[in-house]
Structure 1
Amino acid sequence: MWPILWTAMRTYAPYVTFPVALVVGAVGYHLEWAIRGTPKPRKEESIQELREERKLQEKAGTDSTQVLSLKEKLEFTPRAALNRNRPEES
């Protein structure tokens, strides 16, 4: 009798365990939401949006009329490779 019972349980196990797992999962899901409460909507921002916000905040503290002149910017640029063979002006 036991071998017949074990064979039947092994054969019909997927048909029994799936509905049981479905019911347990649904009960657990609703119980978790009841305990946790309703979720607060969270604002999802991309990394690019966060970067733009940070740059705007950095710009807000500076004076936008004070900029470097082109001459000051060129002092820090490296010399071009094509100018290496030209004689330097004294």
Structure 2
Amino acid sequence: MWPILLQFLRTNAPYITLPIAAVVGVIGYNLEGFLSDRYTPYSKPVQDQRLERLEEELLKDPTNVQKLKYKENVLGKNVSPSLQNN
């Protein structure tokens, strides 16, 4: 009797395990929804936060404005020692 039952289960394993997995998944999904808190508090986008921070810094001291130009030579980085001017 056992060999016949095991042979039946082995050949029909996908048809047996799919409904069992679906039931376990539905139960787990509903249990997680019941136990956990799905509320995510609202926060402003990072770009808006950055703009507000920059405006606040500018309003503190409006005379301290950085110019938009490079402070050092960008092409001078990672220069080979043989090409450096010493």
TM-score of the superposed pair, with normalisation by structure 2? 0.56
Structure scoring higher RCO (CA < 8 A, sep ≥ 6) equals 2
Between the aligned partners of 2:54 and 2:63, the Cα distance in structure 1 is 15
Residue 57, structure 1, aligned to residue 56, structure 2: no
Shift of 1:66: 2.1
Between the aligned partners of 2:62 and 2:51, the Cα distance in structure 1 is 17
1:1-90 aligned within 5 A: 1-37=1-37, 39-43=38-42, 49-63=45-59, 65-66=62-63
Compute the RMSD of aligned alpha carbons. 3.3
Segments of 5+ residues of structure 1 without an aligned counterpart are 79-90
Secondary structure in 2 matching 1:62: helix
Between the aligned partners of 1:66 and 1:59, the Cα distance in structure 2 is 13
Segments of 5+ residues of structure 2 without an aligned counterpart are 74-86
Shift of 1:55: 3.8
Shift of 1:52: 4.4
Letter in 2 for 1:31: L
Shift of 1:2: 2.7
